Amino acid sequence: MEKQHSKGFPLSHVLGFLLSLVLTFAAVGVALKTDLPVKTIVWIIGSLAIVQAALQLYMFMHMNEGEDKKSNTVNILFAFFIAIVTVAGSIWVMSFGM
């Protein structure tokens, strides 16, 4: 039997959108308005990006919902694995030309 979804105002989506905007503008502010070393700026922006990705998974992709939370976790871990392999393989090919 299917569950009924409420058709009310999507407060969690609006809140997630606003928090994503705040994180994006924080990254822009760090990049453009601070005199920090470039390495520090990159680490801060990367950290904000990870927080924003987790926020979007939670708020927009409904990772906290569903009957089988274990499969959600496995799917996310597999997606991270594929992303790491793709990025590492791209860097390897661009660096060594293989």
Give buried/exposed letters for 7-35 (b at 16+ CB in 10 A, else e): eeeeeeeeebeeebeebeeebeebeeeee
Give mean pLDDT in consecutive 10-residue pieces for the chain, a chain of 98 residues.
63 89 95 94 93 84 69 82 93 86
Position 53 scores a pLDDT of: 87
Position 84 scores a pLDDT of: 92
H and E: helices and strands count for the chain: 3, 0
Position 36 scores a pLDDT of: 93
Position 1 scores a pLDDT of: 44
End-to-end CA distance of the chain, in Å? 53
The neighbour count for residue 52, using CB atoms within 10 Å, is 19
Position 39 scores a pLDDT of: 94
The span from the CA of 12 to the CA of 64, in Å, is 12
